A and B are shown apart, each in its own frame.
Chain A
Amino acid sequence: MTITLPPYEDVTARFEPVIGLETHVELGTRTKMFCGCPTGFGAEPNTQVCPVCLGLPGSLPVANAAAIEATIRIGLALNCTIASWCRFARKNYFYPDMPKNFQTSQYDEPLCTDGYLDVEVDGRPVRIDIERVHLEEDTGKTLHVGGATGRIHGATESLVDYNRAGIPLVEIVTRPIPGTGADAPAVARAYVTELRDVIRVLGVSDVRMEQGSLRCDVNTSLNRPGDQWGTRTETKNVNSLRSVERAVRAEMLRQAAVLDAGERIVQETRHFHEETGDTRPGRSKETATDYRYFPEPDLVPLAPDPEWVARLKTELPELPRVHRARLQQAWGLSDLDMQAVLNAGAVELIERTVAAGSSPEGARKWWLGELARRANEAGVDLSTVGATPADVAELQSLVDAGRLNDKLARTVLEGVLAGEGTPSEVMAARGLEVVSDTGALGAAVDEAIAANPDVAAKIREGKVAAAGVLVGAVMKTTRGQADAKAVRELILSRLGVQ
């Protein structure tokens, strides 16, 4: 069936979206959730395993205290209520990447409930309600060999790596988010971005979507104004912030087309496809899986000491929103300027550049100007453009000291991006320093005056603006390596104007 998608503006004019997000965060604890195995990424398959995380007969789990603490801190940062007593539960279903054929998770007694996260979309605040934050174990990874799809159907062989099995996983579930209209995709992205930043500042996970330590499922439904909420779909395989936005938008368009055709939305799990930007059906939920949840009898209930929780709350670091407001004030930026910094993803880069000694203005100029342009050209993230905050701070200090002018600084930066070394090294290697030797400069000035007697005469008569011609001549003979301002002053003093 080929569906013609309606224009987005048309969809948001006729339908109201309701979105919801389920986010999984792999905690960066040293050991796994229920055993002492290491959690490092990228080890040889099945080398970080033991009887417990392989689910061998007789083995038993013991909960990782550091993971519980990290989950409570996430809950506190998301303004949740922390349960005074709760339990783990078993979620039963058969799949070869689950060594026990049940996942130890939480069900009706999550560790954290009823919180919220405030985000901003184009400068407007949006409050996202958090339903729950709970703790569970990750599954192993399955690799299906042979067959066309890379999925289990049609594969000739399936390989399972249990290194990931048992890594602590925090699931953060929002309440349904209605009322965002055409902004729904941007709200979804803003939420995941803010959540990522909150978790990063807590230091409990490296939250890298490309490595799967932050994974996101997006729920979307559409309804006509005044109608009840529509049937929702769950979109998986959303592996970047950009994909979060695209997936919501794609699903809104698809559902609108289905509804326009007079058909019903099927409640199902869909997969987002990065290359095509559309969603396609995955595992059907029409035969609803009954997970037969029941309290995990191998683990004692969790009863966090209220005093400990209170202490964790007072010890939370400054959260990104507060942090950003403080930086904006310290850097003296307008809301609009700060928004530009945020949109460029340059907050942390500028902050680190300032910490390395640069002025805020200088740091912002480089990151949002020349470097943003080059990152854009190369199609890479600003943070991986090839210059470090320390490089930028050094470059700016050379400019501030008068050793580089703007033009030279850009040339030096080019060298830095090309991997030729630090700004000082590039400057020295390429011989780009401003000529500050007054003897050499004086000679160049005298030469320019002698070569342009008529211009010199005009200047002596008081037509100071004509000095530009002589400055240009001097810059040419010094190959740009002179400080234009100093050259101008030298010319004026030689001609007795000053």
Chain B
Amino acid sequence: MTDLIRLSAADLAGAIARGEASAVEATRAHLDRIAEVDGQVAAFLHVDEAGALAAAERVDRARAAGEELGPLAGVPVAVKDVLTTRGVPTTAGSKILEGWRPPYDSTIVQRLRAAGTVIVGKTNMDEFAMGSSTEYSAYGPTRNPWDLGRIPGGSGGGSAAALAAYEAPLAIGSDTGGSIRQPGAVTGTVGAKPTYGGTSRYGLIAFSSSLDTPGPCARTVVDAALLHAVIGGHDRRDSTSIPQPVPEVVAAARRGATGDLSGVRLGLVSQFSGEGAEPGVMAAFGEALERLTKLGAEVVEVSCPHFEYALPAYYLIAPSECSSNLARFDGVRYGLRVGDDGQRSLEEVMSLTREAGFGPEVKRRIIIGTYALSSGYYDAYYGQAQKVRTLITRDFTAAFERVDVLVSPTTPFVAFPFGSRTSDPYQMYLADLFTIPTNLYGGPAISVPCGLSDGLPVGFQIMAPTMADDRMYRVAAALESAVGTLTPPAL
């Protein structure tokens, strides 16, 4: 085995299970790769070499003892720095949490450990998952392995870039408005947002509680499904977790990989007809749609009239919840504390801490959310946005009576150069134009590479009804079988 880092997670796990490679060898190979390329990519905020090697050794010992290994045992995983890892620094990309080592593991991380995967480190992200480029990380941006002058998407750009740079075959992201899917699209990788409540939020540092959904990132659809199956399912620590088994995502992905989509109806949202999207993106999307038709799928145009209000509704709901969720960062109990000189009042220390600890985008959203929840404005803003959310959910429900899944480009544009959208927040927010409706509805959606535009990857989004995550994996795997995986230029 010479090139362990180029293998899919499924193949790597198979090699380890068969004894063709040890988990320690696989882990070492990826740690070496990180050491080699992460100086350029900057996907990781923290690499846990000792923890990773210890986990890999446990897998090798278990195998030597004849124990049965899980389907991803020994496979390295990169975890977005928004999930707590016991004793391992967790910052959510913010200065306000610099140096904080959580005393507990998030449920997702617990399940990763229980499955024998090897957590290699924590990946970079826009601060508190607010952003679409990782440019809002307090620790500097991550670079897109396809073009180091361009953004890797966000907020989970670190996880997506780590996959594209072969620093890990699997990664965890979190998707509030597209933070798994949009980075997947612009790095030519696969990113899935499960049904809200299908993956536990316990230990996921909250941005917008009613939207945040942790999910799998991978280079292949089957790998994403395998990871989804490991991390998904009911968690009694999360009241909003759905008490049902994970949909049969792995079987659905394998079935889709056979390339047969006969009888599957794809809904083309007329509101996403391409206005505001780059022509190259629409061209790649159109070609992919044709490929799917050739595999037997039927394309039906459906109207979702309220989707055009999704972006404004999202930018009221998410900041409102974030203004409350981020109130706890005050310097009293953990993280950064500024100005505590024995003279200043508690209130002053809290203010100075938050002033110094939060970046501009986070502050912008806290201010918007605080305003939207204020007495006298609540009904006009937060209340109205919740009504829009109900209408968008109705659009989805009506559409899914006619079609099995909805399809669209994942994002209107390919990876953009650094600095090109930071001066105008609205231009940045547009990156999530196509991904946000799903978050408001709560259903699952996946982004899968469908081709290139000007040499940069384009993502194809498949949206499914709640708890029908299997459907999107089937269509995604079929498309992947027709398009093939995309390989970035060598670093």
Contact = CB atoms under 8 A, between A and B. Distances in A.
B210 A297 contact: yes
A58 B374 contact: no
A58 B83 contact: yes
Contacts of B473: none
A61 B239 contact: yes
A56 B103 contact: yes
Contacts of A152: 346
Nearest to A88: B239
A101 interface: yes
Given A51-B104, A292-B374, A294-B378, A60 B333 contact: no
Nearest to B91: A57
A473 B64 CA distance: 103
Contacts of B374: 290, 292
B324 A90 contact: yes
B97 A292 contact: no
Nearest to A101: B327
Contact of B239 (A57, A60, A90): A60
A102 B328 CA distance: 8
Contacts of A290: 374-375
Interface in A391-421: none
Contacts of B321: 294, 297
A59 B104 CA distance: 9
A158 interface: yes
Contacts of B350: 94
Interface residues of B, number: 45
Contacts of B205: 57-58
Contacts of B208: 297
A56 B104 contact: yes
A58 B204 contact: yes
Q: Which of B83, B204, B328 has the most CB of A within 10 A?
A: B328
A158 B346 contact: yes
A430 B84 CA distance: 71
A56 B325 CA distance: 11
B209 interface: yes
B387 to A, nearest CB: 14
B84 A101 contact: no
A389 interface: no
Interface in B336-367: 342, 346-347, 350
Given A58-B205, A59-B203, A60-B202, A294 B84 contact: no
Nearest to B329: A57
Interface in A36-77: 51, 54-63
B61 interface: no
B204 to A, nearest CB: 6
B237 A60 contact: yes
B238 interface: yes
A298 interface: yes
B236 interface: yes
B332 interface: yes
A294 B320 contact: yes
Contacts of B378: 292, 294
Given A292-B370, A294-B373, A297-B209, A57 B327 contact: no
B84 A62 contact: no
Question: Which of A58, A62, A96, A158 has the most chain B CB within a 10 Å cutoff?
Answer: A58
A292 B373 contact: yes
A96 B204 CA distance: 23
20 contacts: A55-B328, A56-B104, A56-B334, A57-B328, A57-B334, A59-B203, A60-B201, A60-B238, A62-B237, A62-B239, A92-B323, A92-B373, A96-B332, A99-B328, A101-B330, A292-B323, A294-B320, A294-B382, A297-B210, A300-B240
Given A60-B202, A299-B239, 14 more contacts: A58-B206, A59-B104, A62-B236, A92-B373, A94-B330, A96-B346, A100-B328, A102-B327, A152-B346, A156-B342, A160-B332, A298-B240, A300-B239, A300-B240
Ranked 6 nearest A-B pairs via Cβ: A101-B327, A297-B209, A292-B373, A297-B210, A58-B203, A57-B205
